[in-house]
Structure 1
């Protein structure tokens, strides 16, 4: 039996499909409020028989603040894929970010102690990486530098990784994946699933760059690493480094929208001062803090050499990934007659 946490998220649901295709018995952890109809819809983007797959899954409600709930979740489980996490860059979400990402991960690992769990895959983020190698890229040795400014999300992922390394030192087989921005279908209103909706709505783009990867690559790589017993290591999972402007242009062109305007440093600086003055009155402005603005202005490039050599992996090109998931996004809007919500 394999447990997947965050199973209704943009990545967790595709890991479920990957595991089922390989013949595993799968238990999926979800919140009581999770919408399985929405999961069924997203399954339909990847398979012609979504109901058949959904019926094979043992769904359970898990409370990451309750160690007994987690102990029940891992009962009879040999492998865990820990995808559950809170992705947000709003300062108002700080408490939930640390509770979900750090405390939740620690509690799950404690539940795994003295259980049947032998292998543990943790989905982290490239946000924890600092420093460049001799080629000017971030790689798996680009350790988190606590002296630099980081978002609460990045800090929480770093602290979560420390919990995983602790468990590894105590004998649990662990592997960590550090994906870039995950391009996927479904979960359109949360996490990286919001990407298409946000870019469609706002005719602006940030001046920096980051790395992108298709959800199908992340899911299959996760399972391959566990199956091949590659533990005690971390792997950057990224297809390409691209500018925010390039991604926004391609998405908006496909959606029939005008080309986005790249925000200048002057405009971003003005946003920072506005949040200093009015952030107390308008909480939404607080996202324009110094750390977040530094992130969207930076041109961070990561190196995927380690995983491509380890698994002889060919990533799905970003343009191909965008076309696939944008087609699904457009289909979703058409099927649900969604118009004003996205304007």
Structure 2
């Protein structure tokens, strides 16, 4: 598809990459955020939970990429996370339906599976690779907000919109390189942010990550993917390797013994640092395979 696309959170760390990708591919882009970004596009400035603002921003658009959110549990308390992430998602989808928008892409998170944040009484996965049939075991406010966001997105698909939910892992922005290096130097004692990054190096116990250029391309592919009205699809997205200092199966066994059933050992035999998540659905249906990874940072900065 082509046309005018609204990107919520367009001035943020991820939004700027998505806007750049869409503009490079010939899309017309409109941005909504709490501040105007640097891109030369039309900006609507304010809170994503404001119905009037969102309605104005979405009027006349063909699709919406809903990225605006409190991005993790360290960026706000539970009340703030629920207000922005859940009410904001409802506000966007309600306005999109009223405006006749045919397609929406929701920025979800791998945290819905429940294996991301220790502070949230994190639970280990039942099996690996984790696929779309794996139970959602979220226990922290951010992860729960993303499950509720997916439920809202699905509801509007049932009402006739075509909706894609992208479950992304920790995004390794350029601003995060110092934190990734600091964690690699002393993984057991790392408590970020330690070197000026916008947050701690994330990705859960296995140190998952994805490059923002890859994730921006996934959003663009979600706009273009054939999907009938009323369709709803979900995808786990990650780089093809983790940033873990240990191979994936070794780390899972050290942390959880034999509690995690390994359903496809050949995946980890071929690539010992393969992520926890099953990426075959994204490759086959979305046409997405990550091109970048940041494992080179584990060796530390070069002179």
Aligned residue in 2 for 1:304: 279
The answer as to whether partners of 1:236 and 1:307 remain within 8 angstroms in 2 is yes
**Which of residues 120, 123, 133 in structure 2 aligns to 1:141?**
133
The answer as to whether partners of 2:10 and 2:16 remain within 8 angstroms in 1 is yes
**Which of residues 164, 170, 176 in structure 1 aligns to 2:159?**
170
Determine if the alignment matches structure 1 residue 105 to structure 2 residue 89. yes
CA separation in 2, counterparts of 1:93 and 1:138? 29
For structure 1, which runs of at least 5 residues remain unmatched after alignment? Answer: 41-53, 189-194, 247-263, 266-298, 331-343
Determine if the alignment matches structure 1 residue 21 to structure 2 residue 24. yes
Determine if the alignment matches structure 1 residue 205 to structure 2 residue 187. yes
CA separation in 2, counterparts of 1:22 and 1:321? 29
Cα distance 1:312–1:321, how it changes in 2: closer, same or farther (>3 A)? farther
Q: Which one has the largest radius of gyration?
A: 1
The answer as to whether partners of 2:64 and 2:96 remain within 8 angstroms in 1 is no
Aligned residue in 1 for 2:218: 221
Q: Secondary structure at the match of 1:318?
A: coil
The answer as to whether partners of 2:221 and 2:288 remain within 8 angstroms in 1 is no
Aligned residue in 2 for 1:2: 5
Aligned residue in 1 for 2:170: 181
Determine if the alignment matches structure 1 residue 319 to structure 2 residue 300. no
Q: What displacement does 1:12 show?
A: 1.1
Q: What displacement does 1:120 show?
A: 0.2
The answer as to whether partners of 1:183 and 1:321 remain within 8 angstroms in 2 is no
The answer as to whether partners of 1:124 and 1:178 remain within 8 angstroms in 2 is yes
CA separation in 2, counterparts of 1:321 and 1:29? 35
Q: What displacement does 1:205 show?
A: 2.0
Cα distance 1:313–1:199, how it changes in 2: closer, same or farther (>3 A)? closer
The answer as to whether partners of 2:31 and 2:43 remain within 8 angstroms in 1 is yes
CA separation in 2, counterparts of 1:316 and 1:206? 29
Cα distance 1:118–1:90, how it changes in 2: closer, same or farther (>3 A)? same
Aligned residue in 2 for 1:289: none
Q: Secondary structure at the match of 1:60?
A: strand
Cα distance 1:121–1:312, how it changes in 2: closer, same or farther (>3 A)? closer
* 1:126-185 deviation digits (Å, cap 9, x = unpaired): 00015445xx2211222313xxx6221111111111111111111111000001111223
Q: Secondary structure at the match of 2:18?
A: helix
CA separation in 2, counterparts of 1:142 and 1:215? 26
Q: Secondary structure at the match of 2:171?
A: strand
Cα distance 1:98–1:241, how it changes in 2: closer, same or farther (>3 A)? farther
Aligned residue in 1 for 2:237: 237
Q: What displacement does 1:211 show?
A: 2.1
Q: Secondary structure at the match of 1:95?
A: helix
The answer as to whether partners of 1:3 and 1:27 remain within 8 angstroms in 2 is yes
The answer as to whether partners of 2:209 and 2:243 remain within 8 angstroms in 1 is no
Q: What displacement does 1:18 show?
A: 1.2
For structure 2, which runs of at least 5 residues remain unmatched after alignment? Answer: 115-124, 190-204, 247-253, 256-273
CA separation in 2, counterparts of 1:321 and 1:25? 35
Q: What displacement does 1:198 show?
A: 3.7
Number of aligned residues? 245
Q: Secondary structure at the match of 2:281?
A: helix
Instruction: Please report the TM-score for the alignment, with normalisation by the length of structure 2.
Output: 0.71
How well do the aligned residues superpose, as a CA RMSD in angstroms?
3.0
Q: What displacement does 1:321 show?
A: 7.8
Cα distance 1:201–1:93, how it changes in 2: closer, same or farther (>3 A)? farther
